[in-house]
Structure formats: C-alpha cells, structure tokens
A and B are shown apart, each in its own frame.
Chain A
C-alpha cells in the first residue's frame, strides 16, 4: 500500500509565501535512519531514493521522508544539501551552455569561418557534451545516498538518499508498506517521526534556484564582462564567443570560451590547443562574471589561478567525488540523541537496536 507523506502540508504560510513556486523543493528532506551502527556507506551520483526495511517475517517497508535531527547536526546536513544543490546548479548551467555553443557553431559555419576555427569550436562543443554525458547525468538520479546494510540475516538494504530531478532538488517523501503489520508500521513511523528535520536546510537549498532572476543575472554578467574586456577581446568575443588573454607570468596565450567550466584552453605559439584548464570563482556566478574573473586572474595572477585550476584535455579525468568532507561521520551519527519527550537523551542506537546492526564503510570516491 502506498501512503504518500508530503511534508509540504506542514510548512507554515510564511515559508510558503517566501518560497512560492519552489514549494516542490520542500516536499522532503533526507531521512536519516540509523540501525546499530550507521555510517555513510558511499556517496555517489546514483542510488536508491528510499529507506527500505525487510522484517524477519518477510514484511517490507520503504520510506523516504522528513526526519528530525538534533539542531547541532543541521550544519552538516545543510552543507551536504548545499553541496548537492551546487552540483545540480552546475549541471543545469552546463546544459544551458550547450545550445548557445551549437548556435555559435552554426553562425560560424554560415559566416564562412576557416576550417581550423570551426574544428576548434566543434572540439570544444564535443568535449563539453562528453563531459556532461560522463559526469553530469543527474536528470533523475539520487545525488547522495546514505546507505546502511543491516547485517541481520535476511535483512534488506536500508538506504537514505537525497534525490534530484533536473533543477528541482526533490526530496521525495513517501511510505510504501508491503504487508507489514500495524505494529511494525507504528514502530517505523515512531522512529522516523523522531528524526524529523525542520525546513531550514531545504529552504537554504532553494536560494540558488534558477528562474527568471537567472536570466537577468546572466545578462548583467555579460554586460559587465563586455565593459571590462579590451577592444580586441570584445571584438573576438562578439564574433567567436571566446577571447584570448595573455598569462601575466608566463606570457602564454589562453582562450576563454563562453561558459563557466571547462572553458579555458591553453594555446601554443601557433594557436593550437595544448590542454584545458578549469577554475572559477566560488559561488553560483553567471558565465559573464566567471569569464571576467578568469581573465583578470590569468592576466594578473596567473600562477595562483593555475595552482587551484584543474588541467584536462589530453588525458581522461576522473569523476569528481564532490564535497563529502563534512558529511556526518559514523561517530557523529552514533552520538545523536533525542531532544525531547520521553525519549530525551536516548540515542538513535537505543531506539533502533531492535533492527540489528549495520555495516560500516566509507568510499567517498565511488
């Protein structure tokens, strides 16, 4: 039986007013269920989006819902959510950059650009498409999966995840009971209710939503870039959607293509691409801002810029594991206690010991 449980119904009017159409973001937050010993099993871009239990009698329970955690654990979860959202945001921006690049290529073909110029643009486009296919396929996948493998014989996996669909961070909240007894259902519900998290984390995540304001920001960023480019760079950008800068330290030539990531090519003396560099300012800045920061950094402080940059191009580069440094550790999860009620002071482990133990492993690079 399916029992949808959408937390949006519990959001007060003020948050509804502030978030407006973003209410979809607020449908849930990652559930966090601990068994005997819980750890982040792995952090990956694919995985389950529910908590699943199989009882010894074969009854099953799947759930993803809001959870309540002690306030001191909010920062970790909020960081994890913001990191997740940043990933989605980057993905969306990268996807949005493809069409202008295709249009620019068509325009260059119509304008009769030289074959080597077209080839360079095609290569950049193809590389961007490859990168998206390999590393940014988050259309409908969970981003972080906090998984638990109960060690009890006959037990199923238990996973907790934050899932995402496109730009919506869609923390699905639902229950699916498969022939569980009323007693089992009450036990599970009681546990998850104790771990309900407030809306703060989800609300912060919604700050970076891409909407009309993004289009305005993008236009503003491009205007700023154009105002700060040299006449030659501006002419080049307007005809080719890229401009050249000279490294202030080495004198090397770099070509900054329109974009936010993977958009800098180092060129040799004959203008051929040597490799790619990727660095950008922190925060969700629009393409114009990013390109301007890249230009200024390369021209005035090339060494420092390349020190933080990732090099790519003539070698395969691995998947970024994302920022997992501040996800809760096993010890932190074990230390969580209830904040009120008759269970005040009891640990998660006390409450959940009935369900057995869990495997502990960490693999942030999976």
Chain B
C-alpha cells in the first residue's frame, strides 16, 4: 500500500492510502500539494538507496518521503 512519510518532531508520520480508492488517492494528492506548497521536498524511493525528487504527485510511488525546507546550520 502506498505511503507518504512526513518527517516531523516525532520522527515521522506515515499516511498510507489505497491506490485503488479514488477518494483516498485524491486526499493523498491534496496532502502532497499542501506539503510541497509549504516548502517540503518530496522524493520517492526508486531503488537501493536511490531517491527521485517529485515535483508532481505520483500515485504509483510505493513510498514518498517529505522533509521540510532546508536551512543553513
């Protein structure tokens, strides 16, 4: 089942959704837009440690990770 993993102060929060469920997929797409709109970076896992950045929602991605905007430390 596809999952959106959002990094936060608890470690992360996972949002799983059924790709065959149109409503759930729409909600996941909405979450994608909200997070990326708020400055989060989204990436999907594509292989052994490899990640591809996502500019648009990909309902077929098994796992999409979101992390907040980067800043200098």
CB–CB B50/A230 < 8 A = yes
A–B Cβ pairs within 8 angstroms, 10 of them = A229-B49, A279-B70, A281-B70, A282-B70, A289-B12, A289-B67, A293-B67, A299-B50, A308-B70, A310-B73
- A residues engaging B (CB < 8 A)? 208, 213, 216-221, 223-224, 228-234, 260-262, 278-286, 288-289, 292-293, 296-297, 299-301, 304-305, 308-310
The residue from B12, B50, B73 contacting A261, defined by CB atoms under 8 A apart: B73
Within 8 A of A (CB), among B31-73: 39, 41, 43, 45, 48-53, 65, 67-73
Q: Mark B1-45, 1 if CB is under 8 A from A, else 0.
A: 000010111111000000000000000000000000001010101
What is the predominant secondary structure among interface residues of chain B facing chain A?
strand
Report the 6 A-B pairs with minimum CB-CB distance, sorted nearest first.
Answer: A230-B49, A220-B11, A278-B73, A293-B67, A281-B68, A217-B11
Given contacts A208-B9, A224-B5, A288-B11, contact A283 B49 (CB under 8 A): no
A-B contact count (CB 8 A): 106
| Docked CA distance A41–B42 (Å) | 42
For A213, what are the chain B residues with a Cβ–Cβ distance below 8 Å? Answer: 10
Set B43, B45, B48, B68: member contacting A283, Cβ < 8 A:
B68
The 8 Å CB contact of A282, one of B12, B49, B71, is: B71
Residues of B close to A220: CB separation below 8 A: 10-12
Q: Please, which residues of chain A bring their CB within 8 A of the CB of B12?
A: 220-221, 224, 289
Shortest Cβ gap from B10 to chain A (Å): 5
Q: Which residues of A contact B73 (CB under 8 A)?
A: 260-262, 278-280, 309-310
Chain B nearest CB from A253 CB (Å) reads 15
Q: Residues of B contacting A224 with CB < 8 Å?
A: 5, 7, 11-12
A310 near B10 (CB under 8 angstroms)? no
Asked whether B11 lies within 8 Å of A300 as measured between CB atoms, the reply is: no
Q: Given that A282-B71, A289-B12, A296-B67 are known contacts, is A231 also in contact with B48, CB under 8 Å in the complex? A: yes
